[in-house]
């Protein structure tokens, strides 16, 4: 039974499309962007995990960066600024507080970190063009 269980675990890891689960990197692969801790940049994969935008629909997704699909990702980084990016284009890159409006509150969010030594991760990443 041990080998059957191991095979099931391997199949699950492959199906979820984690970056490198055997070495502890549980970031989900994404064609639109996956955070790489080592290089501190977004990298693009040739496949997208089915776990992106597949989390509990009642969970808070608003810390995930755009494009976020307005639904939390499954996994360790779901609901965080390191959540892998969605193929969905719901929302707006300029809506920093995820209230479905681009307005002065979003401008204030940018202004608060203007000319600081290191901007918050959310701003740093959201302003970048994702191609």
75 Cβ contact partners less than 8 Å away, ≥ 6 residues apart: 16, 18, 26, 28, 51, 55
Q: Can you read off the two tokens belonging to residue 39?
A: 């290089």
Q: Does residue 98 lie within any of the structural domains?
A: no
Note whether residue 11 is domain-resident: yes
pLDDT tens-digit series, residues 72-98: 998 889 999 899 999 887 777 777 676
Please give the tally of structural domains in the chain: 1
Domain that holds residue 85: 2-92
Greater confidence, 84 or 18? 84
Is residue 24 assigned to a domain?
yes
Question: What is the spatial distance between Cα 122 and Cα 14, in angstroms, rounded to a whole number?
Answer: 29
Query: In percent, how much of the chain has pLDDT > 70?
Result: 71
Instruction: Report how far apart the first and last C-alpha atoms of the chain are (Å, whole number).
Output: 45
Residues 6+ apart with CB under 8 A from 7: none
Alpha-helical regions (H) of the chain: 2-16, 104-112, 121-127
105 is a domain residue: no
User: Does residue 63 surpass a pLDDT of 80?
Assistant: yes
Of 83, 86, 55, nearest in space to 68 by CA: 86
Give the whole-angstrom CA distance, residue 123 versus residue 28: 21
Is the pLDDT at 38 greater than 70? The verdict is yes
75: which DSSP letter?
S
Q: Give residue-wise pLDDT tens across range 3-17.
A: 445 544 544 555 778
Asked whether residue 97 is domain-assigned, the answer is no
The model's pTM is: 0.66
The answer to whether residue 45 sits within a structural domain is yes
């Amino acid at each position: 039974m041990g080998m059957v269980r191991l095979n099931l675990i391997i199949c699950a890891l492959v199906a979820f499309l984690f970056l490198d689960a055997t070495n502890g990197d549980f970031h989900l692969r994404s064609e639109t962007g996956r955070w790489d801790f080592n290089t501190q940049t977004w990298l693009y994969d040739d496949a997208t995990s089915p776990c992106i935008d597949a989390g509990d629909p009642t969970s808070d997704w608003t810390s995930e960066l755009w494009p976020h699909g307005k639904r939390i990702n499954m996994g360790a980084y779901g609901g965080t600024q390191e959540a892998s990016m969605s193929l969905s284009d719901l929302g707006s890159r300029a809506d920093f507080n995820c209230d479905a409006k681009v307005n002065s509150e979003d401008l204030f969010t940018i202004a608060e970190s203007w000319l600081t030594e290191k901007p918050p991760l959310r701003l740093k990443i959201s302003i970048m063009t994702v191609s």
